[in-house]
Structure 1
Amino acid sequence: MANETITDDIVRDFFKENKLYQDGKIIIERQSTKNKKIDKLLKNASKNGDGKGYPDILIQYKENPELLVVIENKAESKNHGENKNKHSKYAIDGVLLYSAFLSKEYDVLSIAISGETIETLKVSHFLQLKNTSEAYSIFNDDKLLDLEDYQKGFETDERKFNQDFQELLKYSKILNDSLHNLKVKEHERSLFISGALIALADKAFCSSYKLKSPNSLAKLLISTIEEKLNTVQNKPVVVDVISSYSFITTHTILSKEDGALKNIVEEIDEKINNFIQTYKYYDVLGQFYIEFLRYANNDNSLGIVLTPPHITEIFTEIANINKDSIVLDTCTGTGGFLISSMRKMIKDASGDSAKEYKIKDEQIIGVEMQHDIFSLVCSNMYIHGDGRSNLIKGKCFDTDVKNIVAKYKPNTGFLNPPYKTSKNDDAEFKFILNNLEQLEKGSLCVAIIPTSCVLADKGEDLNLKKMILKNHTLEAVFSMPTELFYNSKVAVATCVIVLKAKEKHPSNYKTYFALWRDDGFTKIKNLGRVDYNNKWNKIKEYWLNNYKNKDEITGHSVKKVITYKDEWIAENYIKVDYSTIRKEDFEIFIFKHVGNLFILRKIDVIGKKCKKEAVVTLKEKEFKYFNLIGENGIFNIEKGERLNKNERVKGNTPFLTSTALNYGISNFIDYDVFIDEKSINKNKITIDMLSNVFYH
């Protein structure tokens, strides 16, 4: 006869043999708990619905008290599967019941087990994050794993990361307000955080900083930063990097007011340092920098556009980064590309410490010109396990810089070049050519640039396109989401361009073009643009699989022979998949249009009922291609006029800009101030620089 106690004993004994248990780092309880908070949460968790209930086995990690492992056992495999609300009969139903109660205060790893021998156990794993209503499957293994593996799997789970990252973004707003109240300047805030994180890596600093007076603590912070940065792989840091932190010792509040510096360092340790220790090789400082610049950089005068982390990550996949890659970023910024590369390279090293040392010492090269940013990237790379040894301060075009880079023989290039804002700025393609020239032949260079560059049909950019194809191969171009840089408060349409260095583009070569317009990210108040619904991983996999196989998919991707005179953009070549257009798409468009008319007070009543009762069905054969312009064209295409902010006088005429809201209407202006008949949108379709399309 089946005996559930046998299953309980097998599972408990399995975990008691684990090193974490033997070292006293976990607590295993059976059908009870001494933890008052857990006991309170389970007061109504009976599987029969009548009071308190306990799982068969409950495991707590002493060093990670926010995570609980809950186990429900059944002797027979027929009682393993879920069957909705039969909590006492099925292992999965039972364990998910406990998870629902405990997840109000904990992250819960639920394990459903059935069987009476260790060899025949059937095992299912679920993770329910704190304050969520959904438990989702985790771990593909149909077997028990070591407690270390469970903790590692939990810490590296994508949904857990997203939840923690969103909490970090919320904290960035709080921290920014705190630093603002302490009168720390915007451009110094990320440096301050980086300095605190460097110092917190020192045991002596951690054990003494809470006891110091404000002035003594400020001096200790600076001396610890200098000591830590100067002991990295026996390569001293540039002197003026240390000087970037000197403001801390002279700051009126931080260096004098009791508790101000101590409290903020303590908070950084708790909120940021813990995140970094859990999620290694992630550009956290870059994210804080973006957050702080949302306040300091309202007019984009600093010209800084930081690449979102999920894009730096996919760059490493596009370029097939491995442990032998030598990565060059000639426009380093806060180091996002270098950190993502280091993460992937070290993972590929599979624990080989000698190789990891070599990766950090010889295989990561960055060039940055701006002083504050250079100091930040040095600190950032140190925080992520060094990698800063080959950071070069200077212009990527300088001969001295090129000579240093040449010693390393880089075979992968990444960059997000400064975006041109005036006639005197260097064109984005110049930065790309500079990067390509420094790579080994056949190496891949991946860059993200404004779409306007690849559309160029005259002037400098056209000549640079010609130069690129003369010396290098255009492998692929991906059209990116229109609001990709929303968090940096930059409205620019961008594309990712992939080039093979020092191999002339063949005349009959087909370049791969794809629409990477929807990355699944959503705009959330106080968080910015984030992967709130956990869609990114699946989308990334779809994009990469199609790219690596060079799949041509209607409405998504195409291969095309191009010249320098052509537009290097997917939209120019990809045919619309009319089979995906639904009646609902037209209804949404109509509702938006009617809503726009209501906002403009053209109508005062909106009714749901359509005057025409007949049902309209859409068929693919009803669609065909038309010439937009030319002799038989159906449109006249005109370019709009630019109207600067200081020229806009309030009035009643709707003013259209690059916004997806309110049909592109950002405000209302006085028509008489800017009289130009072609600028008045009567019965026109408008398309802005971010590809938002509206009918007026």
Structure 2
Amino acid sequence: MAKTKSVEPNIADLVNWWLKTYNLDYKLEQESLNDEIDKALNEYFSKNGGKGGNRPDAKILLQNSKMNYYPVLIEYKGYKDKLVKLDINGQVENTNTKNEPNYRNINSYAVNGAIHYANAILHYTSYTEVIAIGVTGYKDINDKLHHEIGVYYVSKKNLGIGQEVDKYTDLSFLKRENFDDFTQKLEELSLSQEELERIREKKEKEINASLVKLNNDIYKDEKGLSENDRVYLVAASIMATLGISNKVSPLEKEELKSSKEIGNMDGDIILRKINSFLEEKELPQTKKDMIVRTLQNTLTTENINKPVNGESQLKRVFTKIVDDLGIYYKIGLTTDFTGKLFNEMYSWLGFSQDKLNDVVLTPSYVAKLLVKLARVDRNSYVWDFATGSAGLLVAAMNEMLIDAKEHIKSSDELEQRKLTIKAEQLLGLEVLSNVYMLAILNMIMMGDGSSNILNKNSLTDFDGKYGFGKEDKDFPATAFILNPPYSADGNGMVFVEKALSMMNKGYAAIIIQNSAGSGKAIEYNKRILKKNTLLASIKMPIDLFIGKSSVQTYIYVFRVSEAHHKDNIVKFIDFSNDGYTRSNRKKASNNLVDTDRAKERYDELVNLVLFGKSKLKIFTEEEYYEDTIDPKNGADWNKSSPIDTRPKLEDFKKTVADYLAFEVSNLLKNNKEDDSLGK
């Protein structure tokens, strides 16, 4: 049977004729649209996995009446079933199960290819909204041409995943007189919170894969860089390339000339861009100076700026960071990006076990759990006394913004509340300077909650006040979340005692080593319960921090400023089975797999803590147990459901039945043997 012939040339003729009749200034495959877009398409990995060679069949740059520009990228195919390939969730499937680019789909399907090009624009340009169009078709037995069109919106707003706009039979929506209506439709497109979460999870897995690859490549190819150097170089590269619309242009790779000229080496150029960026962010001068001073030590060293074969090590590393990670921070992914970076970078370090426990950061899904258990909403004031990379504060900020969006229906009021949440309702303290830099970077990328991230010892240098510029004003904390260093006094309960003593109301949720509740923090615990109520004690999976730490952890949830009475009921929950299966394989694409309704289990856990036993569905009664504790004990916080060892009537009956069955069996056996001998 003859192979079906592609009708791509016919599809190209048809669509190009449309564009011509619409009087649009379109450019074909080999033609230039503008330098920025051309460069982006050339820099991005190709549809076959190599570098460059991204050439959409047609491209246009359109502007609506609001003066917003929209790149339009069009890809043609010539077969009946080659319009778009979707995954099981109905999203364009441009990555495979290993969270790597699915080159087969990108190559074979028109929409998939167009969205691949659109992501190049998001990755390497200042454009944040792109229109991706795929067109394919076939000829019927009468040689009549049929065509199909897929029109997708790719933006920071939908994390670069692409949303179908509508069904179309031609491209007349691109005509100037129709384009305003079309872009209004784009503004009204939205993803449900569930869809956003699903996309975010997918992107997070891609980030993990990219970070592992980046770190491996730098470790293998770039000698003389310490772990701190690597972290600071990533922080510096991201700050230099973020840019601020209409104020600070992102630093381009071509601007690094690998010059030996004093004051104009690659490190100097990056530092100048960071200075401009931080200036426009209106950070307090003391904070700005501290950030620049920290990064300067790495950026201006002689070896890293010394050109070898015309290129400095700094330029090579900068280029790799932008190429591998640019898409993830440019699409505004609200995740603990630098926490993932931190864990990956520090996976190379040979920490002692105790030290390792102190630097391990909280997984994002556990951070989200702590935030929900602490009842964080749009009105909360949240602080963290050992903030690490600010992953817990990122989770809190996300929850606050989601709640604000659900409850505030005025666009102006919502925008103002978002600014207030980021600038006034979060506070974090981190004493380690290298980790502090990650926290600053994380919150700047989240846009910008870094205002009150303080490089202080929360136990000795903090008096409960806001940070830079507001040192005379108390932070009115209503929610406390914490994953403390377990080597601190009381396994870290010293942080809990101080934080809760500075709060007048609210809730707290902490994840901590189990021994803190069973004897290692008795005096701290007794003092804490004189002023606060223990609401829940949750046993977490033993492998929660697999590959990073091997300690058993618990989550303790408190109501603040209400003394614990001996008759208060505490909810003891065994969450050893949280539904996830974890592995610690270095080359695995996903070491966390939902094998038993993990999301539903986490939701139910929150509901059990908030509302009690009536919410039991998945959990068994052995896993959920209510009891009292002695507030003067301090070592009875880790109770579990008691096992009744008393024999029941059913047990007795079963034992007797088993015994009788055994005796009857022996009797029959003996009779059979006697009969046999008698013969």
Bin for the TM-score computed over the shorter chain: 0.5 to 0.7
Query: Is 1:212 the counterpart of 2:260 in the alignment?
Result: no
Corresponding residue SS for 1:402: coil
Summarize the Cα distance change of 1:152–1:195 in structure 2 as closer, same or farther, 3 Å threshold. Answer: farther
Aligned letter for 1:523? S
- SS of 1:447's equivalent? strand
> Partners in 2 of 1:392 and 1:358 — Cα distance?
18
User: 2:234 matched to which residue of 1?
Assistant: 193
Q: Deviations over 1:449-478 (max 9, x none)?
A: 10011111xxx6222221121121001111
| Cα deviation, residue 287, structure 1 | 0.9
2:509 aligned to 419, 436, 446, which one?
446
Match of 1:461 among 507, 521, 526: 521
Structure 1 residues 462, 621: CA separation in 2 closer, same or farther (over 3 Å shift)? farther
The answer to whether 1:261 aligns with 2:310 is: no
Residue of structure 2 in register with 1:117 after alignment: none
Q: CA deviation at 1:331?
A: 0.8
The alignment status of 1:418 with 2:485, answered yes or no, reads: yes
Amino acid at match of 1:397: L
Distance in 2 of aligned mates of 1:361 and 1:623: 67
**Could you tell me which residue of structure 1 aligns to residue 640 of structure 2?**
572
Deviations 1:417-469 (A, max 9, x none): 11127xxx56421111011012223x11111110011111xxx6222221121
**Percent same amino acid among aligned pairs?**
20
CA distance in 2 between counterparts of 1:355 and 1:452 reads 40
User: What amino acid does structure 2 have at the position aligned with 1:416?
Assistant: N
Asked if 1 retains the 8 angstrom alpha-carbon contact of 2:535 and 2:609, the reply is no
Question: What corresponds to 2:664 in structure 1?
Answer: none
Q: Are residues 1:561 and 2:628 paired?
A: yes
In the alignment, is residue 429 of structure 1 matched against residue 507 of structure 2? no
| Correspondences of 1:379-394 after superposition (within 5 Å) | 379-394=441-456
Paired AA for residue 478 in structure 2: N
Which SS does the other structure have where 2:242 is aligned? coil
Work out whether 1:327 is the aligned partner of 2:377.
no
Structure 1 residues 146 and 243: alpha-carbon distance in aligned structure 2, compared to 1, 3 A threshold: same
1:408 alignment partner, one of 472, 475, 480: 475
Q: What is the CA distance between 1:242 and its match in structure 2?
A: 1.8
> Deviation at 1:219?
0.9
Say if 1:111 and 1:385 are closer, same or farther in 2 by CA, change over 3 A.
closer
Residues 615-649 of structure 1 deviation map (CA, whole Å, 9 limit, x = unaligned): xxxx995599xxxxxxxxxxxxxxxxxxxxxxxxx
- In 2, are the aligned partners of 1:361 and 1:390 still within 8 Å (CA)? yes
CA contact (8 A) 2:430 2:436 kept: yes
After superposition, the Cα gap between the structure-2 partners of 1:570 and 1:205, relative to the gap in structure 1 and judged at 3 Å, is same
Q: Match for residue 655 of structure 1? A: none
Q: Does 1:248 align with 2:299?
A: yes
Mapped contact 1:483–1:491 kept (Cα < 8 A) = yes
Query: What's the CA shift for 1:149?
Result: 6.7
Whole-angstrom distance in 2 between the partners of 1:158 and 1:255: 44
TM-score by length of 2: 0.62
Map 1:572-611 → 2, pairs under 5 A: 572-573=640-641
Alpha-carbon offset, residue 267 of structure 1: 3.2
Q: Is the 8 A contact 2:378 2:403 kept in 1?
A: yes
Give aligned pairs, total: 482
Shift in alpha-carbon separation, 1:20–1:190, aligned structure 2, 3 A: same
Distance 2:455 2:189 in 1: 43
Conservation of the 8 A alpha-carbon contact between 1:26 and 1:59: no
- The whole-number CA distance in structure 1 between the counterparts of 2:312 and 2:398 is 36
How many angstroms apart in 1 are the aligned matches of 2:644 and 2:189? 46
- CA shift, 1:155, in A, is 10
Kindly state the Cα deviation for residue 509 of structure 1 after the two structures are TM-superposed: 0.7
Q: Cα–Cα, structure 1 residues 335 and 574, in superposed 2: closer, same or farther, change >3 Å? A: farther
Q: RMSD across aligned C-alpha pairs, in angstroms?
A: 4.2
**Match of 1:80?**
none
Shift of 1:326: 0.7
**Offset of 1:545 from its aligned partner?**
2.4
3-state SS of paired residue (2:234): helix
Q: Quick one: higher RCO (CA 8 Å, sep 6+), 1 or 2? A: 2
**Equivalent residue for 1:170, pick from 209, 212, 218:** 209
Equivalent residue letter for 1:547: V
Where in structure 1 are there 5+ consecutive unaligned residues? 1-15, 44-53, 73-93, 96-105, 114-144, 578-618, 625-696
CA contact (8 A) 2:504 2:560 kept: yes
Distance 1:297 1:440 in 2: 42
Partner in structure 2 of residue 598 of structure 1 = none
* Paired residue type of 1:250: T
**Residue 232 of structure 1, CA deviation:** 2.7
Segment drifting more, 253-262 vs 325-334: 253-262
Pairwise CA distance, 1:164: 2.8
What is residue 83 of structure 1 aligned with on the other side?
Answer: none
Q: Specify whether residues 146 and 496 from structure 1 end up closer, same or farther in structure 2 by C-alpha distance, changes over 3 A only.
A: farther
Which of 270, 281, 288 aligns to 1:221? It is 270
The aligned counterpart of 1:364 is 426
Q: 1:486-531: CA deviations, max 9, x gaps?
A: 24x2110000111112210022110111122233142152358743
Distance change (3 Å), C-alpha of 1:24 and 1:222 = closer
* Contact persistence 1:200–1:206 (CA under 8 A): yes
**Superposition deviation, residue 186 in structure 1:** 0.9
Deviation at 1:543, TM superposition (A): 1.8
Deviations 1:323-355 (A, max 9, x none): 111111111111011111111212223251211
Q: 1:466 to 1:163 in 2, by over 3 A?
A: same
Which residue number corresponds to residue 565 of structure 2?
A: 506
Pair 55,563 (structure 1): closer, same or farther in 2 beyond 3 Å: same
Q: Answer with 568-577 or 351-360: which moved more.
A: 568-577
Q: 1:376 aligns to what SS in structure 2? A: helix
TM superposition shift of 1:70: 9.2
Counterparts in 2 of 1:382 and 1:621: CA distance versus 1, 3 Å: farther
Greater displacement, 410-419 / 208-217: 208-217
Specify whether residues 525 and 167 from structure 1 end up closer, same or farther in structure 2 by C-alpha distance, changes over 3 A only. farther
Deviation at 1:60, TM superposition (A): 5.2
Indicate the larger mover: 175-184 or 366-375.
Answer: 175-184
User: What is the SS of the residue equivalent to 2:270?
Assistant: helix
Is 2:576 aligned against 1:517?
yes
What CA deviation, in whole Å up to 9, does each residue of 1:167-221 have, x standing for no partner? 3222222211232232321123222211111111126553544132225221111
What is the distance in 2 between the residues matched to 1:557 and 1:321?
24
Compared CA separation, residues 404 and 212, structure 1 to 2 (3 A): closer
**1:110-147 alpha-carbon deviations (Å, 9 max, x no partner):** 9999xxxxxxxxxxxxxxxxxxxxxxxxxxxxxxx966
1:531 and 2:570 aligned: no
Equivalent position of 2:125 in the other structure = none
Contact in 1 for aligned 2:536/2:571 (Cα 8 Å): yes
Q: Please name the residue that 1:485 is paired with.
A: 545
For 1:386 and 1:336, how far apart are their aligned partners in 2? 14
1:306 and 2:361 correspond: yes
Match of 1:278 in 2: 331
Q: 1:410 Cα deviation (Å)?
A: 0.9
Q: Distance in 1 between matches of 2:642 and 2:239?
A: 49
Unpaired stretches in structure 2, ≥5 consecutive residues = 1-21, 23-60, 86-107, 122-130, 137-147, 150-159, 168-183, 260-264, 406-410, 468-472, 654-679
Is 2:347 the partner of 1:294? Answer: yes
**Structure 1: distance between partners of 2:230 and 2:571:** 42
Pairs within 5 Å for 1:604-623: 621-622=650-651
The answer for the alignment partner of 2:15 in structure 1 is: none
Is the CA contact (8 Å cut-off) linking 2:490 and 2:516 kept in structure 1? no
State the 1:400 CA deviation.
4.7
What secondary structure, in the 3-state scheme, does the structure 1 residue paired with 2:476 have?
coil
> Matched residues in 2 for 1:362 and 1:623: separation?
65
Once the two structures are TM-superposed, the CA of residue 284 in structure 1 deviates from its matched residue by 1.0
Contact 1:281 1:342 survives alignment (8 Å): no
Secondary structure at 2:76 match in 1: coil
Distance across 1 between alignment mates of 2:319 and 2:393: 28
One-letter code aligned to 2:512: I
The answer to whether the 8 A contact 2:236-2:295 is kept is: yes
The one-letter code sitting in structure 2 at the alignment partner of 1:200 is: T
Taking the aligned partners of 1:426 and 1:439, their CA distance within structure 2 comes to 20
| CA deviation after TM superposition for structure 1 residue 71, in Å | 12
